[in-house]
Amino acid sequence: MRPLTDTRVLRPTESALALKLVSEMDLLRLKAIARLHARGMPPDVGWEDLLQEALTRVLTGARRIPKGVAPVAFVAGVMRSLRSEHWRRFGAARRRKDAPGEYRAYRTRELALRDAAPGPERSLMAGEQLTAIERLFANDPVALAILDALGEGLAAGQIRARLALTGTEYDSARKRIRRCLLREGLTCAPD
Protein backbone atom coordinates (compact mmCIF):
# COMPACT_ATOMS: atom_id res chain seq x y z
CA MET A 1 0.00 0.00 0.00
CA ARG A 2 1.34 3.45 -0.95
CA PRO A 3 1.82 6.00 1.84
CA LEU A 4 -0.90 8.62 2.14
CA THR A 5 1.53 11.54 2.27
CA ASP A 6 4.02 12.61 -0.31
CA THR A 7 7.48 12.53 1.25
CA ARG A 8 9.34 13.94 -1.74
CA VAL A 9 11.19 17.20 -1.22
CA LEU A 10 11.08 19.48 -4.23
CA ARG A 11 13.79 22.03 -4.76
CA PRO A 12 12.67 25.54 -5.68
CA THR A 13 13.85 25.04 -9.27
CA GLU A 14 11.67 21.95 -9.61
CA SER A 15 8.73 23.80 -8.08
CA ALA A 16 9.22 26.75 -10.46
CA LEU A 17 9.23 24.36 -13.41
CA ALA A 18 6.17 22.50 -12.13
CA LEU A 19 4.25 25.75 -11.62
CA LYS A 20 5.32 26.89 -15.10
CA LEU A 21 6.87 30.01 -13.60
CA VAL A 22 9.88 29.38 -15.85
CA SER A 23 10.54 27.09 -18.78
CA GLU A 24 13.54 24.76 -19.02
CA MET A 25 15.25 27.27 -21.32
CA ASP A 26 14.58 30.07 -18.81
CA LEU A 27 16.04 27.89 -16.08
CA LEU A 28 19.22 27.41 -18.13
CA ARG A 29 19.46 31.19 -18.56
CA LEU A 30 18.99 31.68 -14.83
CA LYS A 31 21.72 29.13 -14.08
CA ALA A 32 24.13 31.06 -16.31
CA ILE A 33 23.18 34.33 -14.63
CA ALA A 34 23.59 32.74 -11.19
CA ARG A 35 27.09 31.58 -12.14
CA LEU A 36 27.99 35.14 -13.13
CA HIS A 37 26.62 36.57 -9.88
CA ALA A 38 28.46 33.96 -7.80
CA ARG A 39 31.87 34.80 -9.29
CA GLY A 40 34.28 36.07 -6.68
CA MET A 41 31.96 35.16 -3.81
CA PRO A 42 33.38 33.36 -0.79
CA PRO A 43 33.47 29.58 -1.11
CA ASP A 44 30.46 29.11 1.16
CA VAL A 45 28.17 30.83 -1.38
CA GLY A 46 27.63 28.92 -4.61
CA TRP A 47 25.65 29.79 -7.70
CA GLU A 48 23.09 27.13 -6.85
CA ASP A 49 22.52 28.78 -3.48
CA LEU A 50 21.82 32.13 -5.13
CA LEU A 51 19.43 30.60 -7.65
CA GLN A 52 17.57 28.49 -5.10
CA GLU A 53 17.21 31.39 -2.65
CA ALA A 54 15.96 33.74 -5.37
CA LEU A 55 13.37 31.21 -6.57
CA THR A 56 12.35 30.47 -2.98
CA ARG A 57 11.66 34.15 -2.36
CA VAL A 58 9.56 34.34 -5.52
CA LEU A 59 7.65 31.12 -4.75
CA THR A 60 6.92 32.07 -1.12
CA GLY A 61 5.70 35.50 -2.15
CA ALA A 62 8.47 37.39 -0.35
CA ARG A 63 9.28 38.92 -3.75
CA ARG A 64 6.39 39.34 -6.18
CA ILE A 65 6.89 39.60 -9.92
CA PRO A 66 5.34 42.85 -11.18
CA LYS A 67 3.03 42.67 -14.19
CA GLY A 68 4.83 43.06 -17.48
CA VAL A 69 8.22 41.97 -16.10
CA ALA A 70 9.74 38.78 -17.49
CA PRO A 71 10.30 36.15 -14.78
CA VAL A 72 13.92 35.62 -15.87
CA ALA A 73 14.72 39.32 -15.55
CA PHE A 74 12.99 39.53 -12.18
CA VAL A 75 14.72 36.46 -10.72
CA ALA A 76 18.05 37.75 -12.05
CA GLY A 77 17.39 40.99 -10.19
CA VAL A 78 16.61 39.06 -7.01
CA MET A 79 19.92 37.19 -7.36
CA ARG A 80 21.76 40.49 -7.83
CA SER A 81 20.05 41.80 -4.71
CA LEU A 82 21.03 38.68 -2.75
CA ARG A 83 24.64 39.07 -3.87
CA SER A 84 24.68 42.71 -2.73
CA GLU A 85 23.03 41.77 0.55
CA HIS A 86 25.65 39.10 1.15
CA TRP A 87 28.53 41.48 0.44
CA ARG A 88 26.99 44.14 2.73
CA ARG A 89 26.85 41.60 5.56
CA PHE A 90 30.34 40.38 4.70
CA GLY A 91 31.72 43.94 4.76
CA ALA A 92 30.07 44.67 8.10
CA ALA A 93 31.49 41.46 9.53
CA ARG A 94 34.98 42.36 8.31
CA ARG A 95 34.72 45.79 9.94
CA ARG A 96 33.81 44.24 13.29
CA LYS A 97 36.62 42.79 15.30
CA ASP A 98 34.59 39.77 16.29
CA ALA A 99 33.72 38.54 12.80
CA PRO A 100 31.65 35.34 12.65
CA GLY A 101 33.59 32.15 12.18
CA GLU A 102 32.58 31.64 8.55
CA TYR A 103 33.92 35.06 7.55
CA ARG A 104 37.05 34.63 9.64
CA ALA A 105 37.71 31.30 7.92
CA TYR A 106 37.30 32.91 4.51
CA ARG A 107 39.65 35.78 5.42
CA THR A 108 42.24 33.37 6.79
CA ARG A 109 42.06 31.26 3.63
CA GLU A 110 42.35 34.37 1.49
CA LEU A 111 45.44 35.57 3.37
CA ALA A 112 47.06 32.15 3.38
CA LEU A 113 46.85 31.81 -0.43
CA ARG A 114 48.49 35.12 -1.26
CA ASP A 115 52.23 35.00 -1.86
CA ALA A 116 54.03 38.33 -1.62
CA ALA A 117 56.90 37.25 -3.88
CA PRO A 118 55.70 35.94 -7.24
CA GLY A 119 57.59 33.08 -8.79
CA PRO A 120 59.33 33.33 -12.16
CA GLU A 121 56.43 31.76 -14.06
CA ARG A 122 53.92 34.14 -12.49
CA SER A 123 56.17 37.15 -13.19
CA LEU A 124 56.53 36.12 -16.83
CA MET A 125 52.78 35.65 -17.25
CA ALA A 126 52.09 39.03 -15.65
CA GLY A 127 54.62 40.70 -17.95
CA GLU A 128 53.04 39.12 -21.01
CA GLN A 129 49.57 40.22 -19.91
CA LEU A 130 50.75 43.78 -19.30
CA THR A 131 52.36 43.87 -22.73
CA ALA A 132 49.13 42.62 -24.31
CA ILE A 133 47.12 45.28 -22.47
CA GLU A 134 49.56 48.01 -23.49
CA ARG A 135 49.23 46.89 -27.12
CA LEU A 136 45.43 46.91 -26.89
CA PHE A 137 45.29 50.46 -25.58
CA ALA A 138 48.25 51.91 -27.51
CA ASN A 139 45.90 54.33 -29.30
CA ASP A 140 44.05 55.33 -26.11
CA PRO A 141 46.39 57.21 -23.75
CA VAL A 142 43.57 58.01 -21.30
CA ALA A 143 42.74 54.32 -20.90
CA LEU A 144 46.43 53.48 -20.39
CA ALA A 145 46.76 56.21 -17.76
CA ILE A 146 43.65 54.96 -15.94
CA LEU A 147 44.93 51.37 -16.00
CA ASP A 148 48.29 52.54 -14.68
CA ALA A 149 46.61 54.48 -11.85
CA LEU A 150 44.39 51.49 -11.01
CA GLY A 151 47.55 49.38 -10.83
CA GLU A 152 48.90 51.83 -8.26
CA GLY A 153 45.75 51.32 -6.20
CA LEU A 154 44.29 54.79 -6.66
CA ALA A 155 40.57 55.39 -6.17
CA ALA A 156 38.32 56.84 -8.89
CA GLY A 157 38.39 60.35 -7.42
CA GLN A 158 42.17 60.32 -7.19
CA ILE A 159 42.48 59.13 -10.79
CA ARG A 160 40.10 61.81 -12.05
CA ALA A 161 42.04 64.49 -10.16
CA ARG A 162 45.42 63.23 -11.40
CA LEU A 163 44.30 63.03 -15.05
CA ALA A 164 41.98 66.09 -14.90
CA LEU A 165 38.99 64.06 -16.11
CA THR A 166 35.32 64.74 -15.53
CA GLY A 167 33.17 61.98 -14.09
CA THR A 168 31.65 61.33 -17.52
CA GLU A 169 35.03 61.14 -19.24
CA TYR A 170 36.31 58.75 -16.57
CA ASP A 171 33.21 56.52 -16.79
CA SER A 172 33.37 56.48 -20.60
CA ALA A 173 37.02 55.43 -20.53
CA ARG A 174 36.30 52.70 -17.99
CA LYS A 175 33.51 51.36 -20.22
CA ARG A 176 35.86 51.35 -23.23
CA ILE A 177 38.42 49.45 -21.19
CA ARG A 178 35.88 46.91 -19.96
CA ARG A 179 34.42 46.32 -23.43
CA CYS A 180 37.85 45.89 -24.98
CA LEU A 181 39.02 43.45 -22.28
CA LEU A 182 35.82 41.42 -22.56
CA ARG A 183 36.09 41.34 -26.35
CA GLU A 184 39.68 40.10 -26.11
CA GLY A 185 38.92 37.58 -23.35
CA LEU A 186 41.30 39.20 -20.88
CA THR A 187 39.01 39.12 -17.87
CA CYS A 188 40.20 37.90 -14.50
CA ALA A 189 38.96 34.56 -13.30
CA PRO A 190 38.22 34.39 -9.55
CA ASP A 191 40.98 32.71 -7.56
At 102-136, the pLDDT tens digits run 444 444 445 455 555 667 777 787 788 778 888 88
| pLDDT tens for each residue of 25-83 | 887 888 888 888 888 777 677 888 888 888 888 878 788 888 888 888 888 888 888 88
Residue 119 Rama label (left phi>0; alpha psi -120 to 50; beta):
beta
- DSSP state, residue 181: H
Using pLDDT thresholds of 50, 70 and 90, give the confidence band for residue 15.
low
Dist CA 189 CA 58 (whole Å)? 30
Domain ranges of the chain: 12-100, 120-184
Dist CA 22 CA 14 (whole Å)? 10
Question: Could you tell me the pTM of the whole model?
Answer: 0.44
What is the per-residue pLDDT for 190? 47
Dist CA 52 CA 58 (whole Å)? 10
